[in-house]
Structure 1
Amino acid sequence: MGQVITVAIIIFIVFIILSGIFTVKQQTSAVVERFGRFNSIRNSGLQIKIPIIDRIAGRINLKIQQLDVIVETKTKDDVFVHLKVSVQYQVMASNVYDAFYKLESPGAQITSYVFDVVRAEVPKMKLDNVFERKDDVANAVKAELNDAMLDYGYDIIKTLVTDIDPDEKVKESMNRINASEREKVAAEYEAEADRIKIVAKARAEAESKRLQGQGIADQRREIARGLEESVDVLNNVGINSQEASALIVVTQHYDTLQSIGEKNNSNLILMPNSPEAGSEMLNQMITSFRASSQIGEEMKRQNREQKALDEKNKES
């Protein structure tokens, strides 16, 4: 019986000793109380406390933490929106006592201030301005929280407005407006492209007409020069200008008929359509034949003279 009591006493003593040893994790602080009163703050590592007398009242996380708060509020143009505000905060290592004893629920306290600031700032803005100035809302929340939470040992690292969600009907209206604006811009670009195509086509057609007119003018100029040379040649063999013109007209007439006849798919025949046309054509033909005869006689005379000249040259 005595041995059992001894073993029990030893076990009790070991338990008491072990209960006075504890560890604190990295980025954590432990608050130690003695008889219910604050005694000390223990940081990371192996720590010792008086068994039974001292106890660990709680542990404080010194890491940066994030709290997401969703706030429903109304804008200046009476649109209800949900804003998601992310608050990053941290307990200051030098103010662990204040953080542990002064504030029961830091998350609830931060949430209350976020609601208060957002519902004070957003109603001053229209919906479009809320999207454009969300950083102003975040900065206002951070400034308010810093002033309020510093006394409780909390440092506000950063605040972000991470989401702005208007009412579903408002989003549908905004999407329709954006779609209409994009369609308007697309229509303007398409109209501009069509205008450029029309202008380019008109310029091309104008250039084509100009070149075509220039070609026709050059053609007529060459025809006139050729006719002039033909008349000069005929005048040199004793044919007057009237007879020469008649011969050229008849020649062109028959050239035209020959050109039409050479085309396999041509059904066009040019015929005189007035009573005077027959006698006029006959007169032109007679004149042309006479002119041809004169040209032939003149060419024969020139050939005889050339032969006589050649024979004379040979004899000499």
Structure 2
Amino acid sequence: MHASGPWNSRGQRFLSSNLPINTVVLFVPQQEAWVVERMGRFYRILEPGLNILIPVLDKIRYVQSLKEIVINVPEQSAVSLDNVTLQIDGVLYLRILDPYKASYGVEDPEYAVTQLAQTTMRSELGKLTLDKVFRERENLNANIVEAINQASDDWGIKCLRYEIKDIHVPTKVRDAMQMQVEAERKKRAMVLESEGTRESAINVAEGQKQSQILASEGERAEQINRAAGEANAILARAKARGEAIRVLAEALTLQSGNAAASLTIAEQYVSAFAKLAQDSNTILLPANTGDITSMVTQAMGIYGTLTKNMPQKPKELTQKEKGEMDLES
């Protein structure tokens, strides 16, 4: 015959009337430890399975459950480091490691552990500001577990973990925290927007810079190409002019060269007067404008003077003259 352990679903201890009765042969269920007294003194702890006791002399005094026990820690008031009053509750997870100490070490284990958890919670909350309470819940739970285990070692109980369920702050403080959160979000939004504007301005400036660089490089390449084209054109005109002069010089050495030169000068003379008539309505003409012959004669005279002053090309000797010179030598 057996009964449930000393803790119900709420973590409350059963009364002695709920304890199993000594029927000589007892079957202890798994994960339970029955504490037996003989004539009022501790005798032994019954292990799970078959057990035999002496009636009248042996009495089952405590039934300890070796399973994990859950205890609700009632809501309590605590003051943080920055003088904010908080309402906080939690859940405590325990396990009995030594049934003897759990039975004789403390009168009411539930009450003792609950009070220890509450006092430790108030002490730990007084070391933290309101903002850190929400950020360091895990550290807060770990500190409470450590403090409980230091005190509950003599009770044969081990605290496995402590979890904070709810933290309630005053209405005004909650509204202020909400306003602070909204202000932080607005600040982050403004910072992100300003960074986006800055990046956009940098990108636009970089684009304009690259555009100006490419435009200047294109203009420089265009000027280089234009200069190269003009240089080639000047060189080509110079070569053409030189070739024309060479051909003209060869033509002047011919028998009818003077007549050709006179004709060219007459044509240029008429062409010059035609251009003057196109460029301006007012023309200053020499007195002998109609005397083209005199103008050509004057030009040919200038040409003759220039040719006399130019060095003469040595005349090539004929075969007969070369033979005579050889005989004389």
TM range (shorter): 0.5 to 0.7
- Where does residue 53 of structure 2 map in the other structure? 49
Cα deviations by residue, 1:196-247 (Å, 9 ceiling, x for unpaired):
4224312321222222221331233134224413532553335xxxxxxxxx
SS at match of 1:198: helix
Q: Distance in 1 between matches of 2:51 and 2:159?
A: 30
Q: Distance in 1 between matches of 2:229 and 2:89?
A: 88
Q: Distance in 1 between matches of 2:202 and 2:130?
A: 39
Cα deviations by residue, 1:165-211 (Å, 9 ceiling, x for unpaired):
65543552353244234324522542343144224312321222222
SS at match of 1:88: strand
| Structure 1 residue 21 corresponds to structure 2 residue 21 | no
CA contact (8 A) 1:21 1:46 kept: yes
- Where does residue 106 of structure 1 map in the other structure? 109
Which of 88, 93, 96 is residue 93 of structure 2 equivalent to?
88
Q: Distance in 1 between matches of 2:77 and 2:200?
A: 49
Count residues in correspondence. 227
SS at match of 2:30: coil
Q: CA deviation at 1:52?
A: 5.1
> What amino acid maps onto 2:100 in structure 1?
Y
| Structure 1 residue 142 corresponds to structure 2 residue 148 | no
| Structure 1 residue 203 corresponds to structure 2 residue 209 | yes
- Where does residue 224 of structure 2 map in the other structure? 218
| Structure 1 residue 116 corresponds to structure 2 residue 119 | yes
Indicate the RMSD between aligned Cα atoms, in angstroms: 3.6
Shift of the 189–229 alpha-carbon distance from structure 1 to 2, 3 Å rule, reads: same
Q: Distance in 1 between matches of 2:184 and 2:222?
A: 56
- Where does residue 63 of structure 1 map in the other structure? 67
Q: CA deviation at 1:101?
A: 3.7
TM-score if structure 1 supplies the norm length? 0.58
SS at match of 1:124: coil
Q: Which runs of 5+ in 1 are unaligned?
A: 1-16, 239-275, 284-316
Q: Percent identity?
A: 21
The structure richer in helix per residue is 1
- Where does residue 292 of structure 2 map in the other structure? none
Q: CA deviation at 1:59?
A: 1.0
Q: Distance in 1 between matches of 2:48 and 2:163?
A: 31
Q: Distance in 2 between matches of 1:128 and 1:199?
A: 43
CA contact (8 A) 1:85 1:138 kept: no
Q: Distance in 1 between matches of 2:193 and 2:60?
A: 73
SS at match of 1:26: coil
Q: CA deviation at 1:98?
A: 3.0
> What amino acid maps onto 1:150 in structure 2?
D
| Structure 1 residue 30 corresponds to structure 2 residue 37 | no
**1:164-175 correspondence runs (5 A):** 166=169, 168-175=174-181
CA contact (8 A) 1:71 1:118 kept: no
Shift of the 214–120 alpha-carbon distance from structure 1 to 2, 3 Å rule, reads: same
CA contact (8 A) 2:78 2:125 kept: yes
Q: Distance in 1 between matches of 2:197 and 2:36?
A: 78
Q: Distance in 1 between matches of 2:76 and 2:105?
A: 26
Q: Distance in 2 between matches of 1:154 and 1:18?
A: 27
CA contact (8 A) 2:96 2:156 kept: yes
| Structure 1 residue 77 corresponds to structure 2 residue 82 | yes
CA contact (8 A) 1:30 1:43 kept: yes
CA contact (8 A) 2:22 2:53 kept: no
| Structure 1 residue 128 corresponds to structure 2 residue 134 | no
- Where does residue 197 of structure 2 map in the other structure? 191
Which of 143, 151, 160 is residue 154 of structure 2 equivalent to?
151
**1:243-254 correspondence runs (5 A):** none
SS at match of 1:87: strand
Shift of the 62–219 alpha-carbon distance from structure 1 to 2, 3 Å rule, reads: same
